[in-house]
Structure 1
Amino acid sequence: MEPSSVFAIQLLETLPEPEIAEIQRRQSDMSVSLQKANSSLSALNEFSAVKWAGLHPKFEAHTKLIKELQSDLDYVFRKIRAIKASLNLPNIDDDDEEEEEEEEGEGEREVEEQGEGEEEALGGGEASEERRGEEEERREASKDSANSKKS
């Protein structure tokens, strides 16, 4: 006799007949439940595959379109920046900042100076100082060009 059959016979002898019948019933119930779940998942998988096959080309086309739009916009903004630089026009954001600064009081300027100290403490002071210097140079250049056009 094989070892597995010997083990099965010994197991059958140790368990009463009603318990073995209950185990077999539970196994068959579990088998039916798993077969239903498997068929449901198979149906869902087939449905998803059909939908994916229909939508995938559309997603690819839309993704391609978005990438093309992004590159077109990048090109347009680069051209706008180049034109502004050649005309020495200040950025629109710079004009808004100048107007806001004129409207702000001295107390708010002190708060800004404190914020600059915090930036420097965080390690961003040098970069922001460079940006401010560049902005001031652009403003001065645009004022100089405006003054030279007037005269």
Structure 2
Amino acid sequence: MAENGAAATDHASPTTAAAFGNEGSSRKPGANPSETFVNMLGEMVDQNDVRDIAAQQALMLSRFEKTNEKLERFNSLEAGRFNQAMEQFRSHTRVLSDMKKDLDSVFRRIRLLRGKLSRQYPDVFEAYDREHGVDREEEEEDEDEEQEHEQDKQAEGHTDSAAASNVQETDPAAINVDVPS
């Protein structure tokens, strides 16, 4: 039986041999069917086509490598520009935050001075209000709402973290406001 099993593996079946264009006698002795299949596929492919495909792949590879190098250079340049823009943005944010604090201080002082002057000279303020159609009660309500809103923001600790970390406090007493007498 061993001889029959060995004989069966040495010769391809008639359908396999016909499929590969081999008759049992034309096949190389000792070659298994998988090697025969691969060899037949290799013979079916034109070697000039394979060389052309390999050349096109090499060309595309070099193009992709050059493109990749260009993109890497572009990314490194843009990273530097991005860092510069972020520093400018932080600086401008600090400036705006300082300006807002300064303006808040100025408007608070103006409100205090206006309140003080309105208590000292109520008849002048009433005449001005009548002449210009100003409703002081409505303005005072708006100011009260604004002050409540600012107090709520301070109570919540609502500050811009990027600006608050690098912003110096502005002393309201350091700003001089001259009031004509």
Q: TM class, shorter-chain normalised?
A: 0.3 to 0.5
TM-score by length of 1: 0.43
More helix by share: 1
Larger radius of gyration: 2
